[in-house]
Amino acid sequence: MNVKGQKVSSDWHLYRRGFGPPDKRFLNPDGTATSRAFKLRDKDQGKLSVDVKEMTTAANAIIDPTKFVLFEVPVVAVEKIGLSTVHDPLSVVNDGIENDAHASILGLDDDDEIKPGLLARASRRIAV
């Protein structure tokens, strides 16, 4: 069990889910992520939602491979651009879903267009 707010190990990796049904062209032509996949939205309240790879499986993280795609980012790459990653487990009681592998990338700014682009460029597509 991870304590909420505890730093995710720099040696670990993160999964970020993006919307990418095969009939839509929301990814780059080479299948990599665009910066939009790592951009905060209002409901995120400054926390970019990810799963810790070492605590889950790609199949669990992607939820529905017919609609979503999965990108992997090393935690060290997140830290290298000045962001941090903390464990942020979800519970049925508080969040309506149980996900002990859930984590949050902190430090993104709504007006910042650079870091989402850097995260996208540091990520790689995971085949599920």
Partner 1 sequence: MQALIDSYSPTIESSVDTPFEKFTTEYRLDQLDAPFRSITYRPSAEIKNSINARIFGIVDDIATLNDNWDEDGAIAPGSEVIQLAQAMVHSMTAVGQEIYNAAPGAKGEIMLDLRAGNKSLEVIIYRNKMKFVKFSPSEPPTQGSFTPNLLLTDLLAWLNEK
Please report, as ranges, the residues that interact with partner 1 according to CB under 8 A.
19, 24-29, 34-36, 39, 41-43, 67, 112-114, 117-118, 121
CB of 7 to partner 1, least distance (A): 25
Residue 7 or 44: the one with the smaller Cβ distance to partner 1 is 44
Nearer to partner 1, 19 or 98 (CB): 19
Which amino acid type is present at position 29? P
Rounded to whole angstroms, the Cα distance separating 102 from 94 reads 13
Give whichever of 7 and 125 is closer to partner 1, judged by the CB atom.
Answer: 125
Buried b (16+ CB within 10 A) or exposed e, 51-62: bbbebeeeeebb
Query: Nearest approach, Cβ of 117 to partner 1 (angstroms)?
Result: 6
Write down how long the chain is: 128
d(CA 82, CA 108): 9
